[in-house]
Amino acid sequence: MNKKYIYGILTAIWIGVIFSFSLQIADKSTMLSDGVGELILENTSSQLLEESSLWGEMEWKLFHTVIRKCGHFAEFFVLGILMILTIKQTNVHHKRMISVFLCVLVASVDETIQLFVPGRAGMIADVILDSVGSVMGLMTLLFVGKLWRKKNE
């Protein structure tokens, strides 16, 4: 099987993973991000863990919001990498632009899905954050590729 199909399949699977997170009802999604937050606190400095025991409701909400937004960014960072790898295997022109366009499209569909899930809300700010994550993933891959080529010259 050639790279074109492998990258395409991996990209499709990753989009499925992203959409599956969006299809989770609010309570399940909150439990997941809370679990990630607890894992981070348990594996971080003892000072932060001690300080977190003193946090009020506002600090906890901010902490969990940051966790959720980092999750959005990370999901789409990976998508940006997979998308450019997939598109680079095709004969289309403007590969970077098309990759970014497709990632923004996925982000828009992802947030639209959330409009129909109990307790969830689609947010334009999340489409922007997701899009930035995709662009950063794409740029990181291109930068690393450039460094790799220079090293091997």
Predicted local confidence at residue 50, as pLDDT: 73
Predicted local confidence at residue 1, as pLDDT: 67
Q: For residue 151, what pLDDT band results from cuts at 50, 70 and 90?
A: confident
And the tokens for 41?
């606190």
Q: For residue 116, what pLDDT band results from cuts at 50, 70 and 90?
A: very high
DSSP-based three-state secondary structure for 124: helix
Q: 90-94 contacts: CB < 8 A, separation 24 or more?
A: 90/4
Q: Span 23-48, mean pLDDT?
A: 81
Predicted local confidence at residue 29, as pLDDT: 86
Global pTM reads: 0.87
Predicted local confidence at residue 63, as pLDDT: 84
